[in-house]
Structure 1
Amino acid sequence: MPIRLAVQPSLKDLFTEAARAERGGRPAAGMFVSSGDPTVTEICASAGLDYLLIDAEHSPLGLETILAQLRAMAGYGSIPVVRLPGLDEVLVKQYLDLGAQSLVVPMVNSAADAEAAVRAVHYPPRGVRGVGSALARSARWNRVPDYLSRAAELVTLVVQVESAAAVGSAAQIAAVDGVDGVFVGPSDLAASMGLIGQQTHPDVVAAVKDVVAAVRQSGKFVGVNAFARSQAQDYLDAGADFVNVGADVALLARGTEALADAWCAPAGEEQGPGTAPRGSY
């Protein structure tokens, strides 16, 4: 008799009443993994974070690399989330077939964009996702019972609001049936507001909080990227359900800078363990 497998949780499972209660009511926290190295991903996955966001938008990750990272995470409690390079029906199909159950679609600027993302993640007649479950890890090669009829409930779709236009349409974007949550990107948002590199500018922070309020009003979950602890806490206090608090490559960059500053200073400069790193996040 063939083995009949269960599927792993997806991101929306972090925001059920039971999951929130299990965390003691605290918001969820996770980080980017951008290096593409499965060992690094496994180290991060076993650290105790609620989720890891595998980033294919700003990192050189292909399908095989993402598949290796999903497998590296499979034995741990952190939920794998994958951010696509962009809204593309073919890529959505391929990422879902890899077994990515939680997708983040960047640069969603309108309700129409959100509706297109919903169509991409659903099989017909609701959507346009191609059917290949017998060939795909998503259905464990047809070992997940009734995968085709259950796929919609197993997938979490998060759309990313990261432009001034999207902020103005946040309520309409969040209201689209099939959108499970919204992720706010302050870096691109700041750039679209003419404030590139100024993610903590008061106008950017206010815009992020406007999105948080609009999405919460819709009944969907909402998160934000904020590497600075004080900024992350400020967004959580404003009602964000989850926060992305770091990245593997940023941690490596800052950590190695700290080592170099501590031990490789030019002769005559007093340096030592504990010297502040050159960069910050």
Structure 2
Amino acid sequence: MNIYKNNIKLKVRFPIGGKSDSINNLLLKESLNTICKSSYCPNIGTCWKNGVLSFLLLGNICTRSCNFCAIKTGNPKQINMLEPYKIANTVKRMEIKHVVLTSVNRDDLKDMGIKIWIQTIREIKQISTSSIEALIPDFKGHKKQLALIIKEHPEIISHNIETVPRLTKKVRIQAKYERSLSLLKYIKKTSDIRTKTGLMLGLGETEVEVINTFKDIRKANIDILTIGQYLAPTLKHYPVKNFLTPKKFKYYKNIALDMGFLFVESNPLVRSSYKAYKHII
């Protein structure tokens, strides 16, 4: 499929046939969710063709209502306690070398879903050799939950800043810019685990704001930065303010690399899990 915006042509592949069908059938059979499908990720065809996917823990209904996100908001269903085992078995069956785990926000739960997070990481490690990236929610800033993730020592812990400080309240609503930075700083202060965050551009941010956000992120000793074009899931979501050219994304990549990031992925179709397997090298 080709997406045209302001004379910019973005090519994406539909997840049809072969390995993509096998993955989809397996996910349906096991009643497992992926951020690939729930967030309408444009890279789903390419990733699934290569056997790469990102699991969505704790259901597919979020207790928050971020203006940029395609995931449904509402009252989540009861937790599926078999989810960790099913995910681990799927990882083993598919021989996935690197798996990304993420989740909806479960502010309705006393532990915010941390038990499922921990059990899933443990189960994967127990029956497979897959490396793991834990793309975590903010857990309302509680370090207790984060410390438990750190204790399990996934190869990467990531948490997305998403946008510049000025737009955070409009775009992320219940999240806080400084709270997100604080979580990422805490990981580095208490462990040697590689850290990662991501930004969406095209929300109305200025170049100065973007570069200053890079600086904030680097001061938090974050190792990996992903930068992509925001695409509104529906007309009801936060509108796209502008589309950046591939040249502009390359410009931002060079600035970020000069700041000392280990890896920078930057182009219009980049999402937080884009080429995630490369980030453990």
**TM-score (normalised: structure 1):** 0.45
Larger Rg computed on CA atoms:
1
Q: Given the two structures, how large is their TM-score scaled by the length of structure 2?
A: 0.45
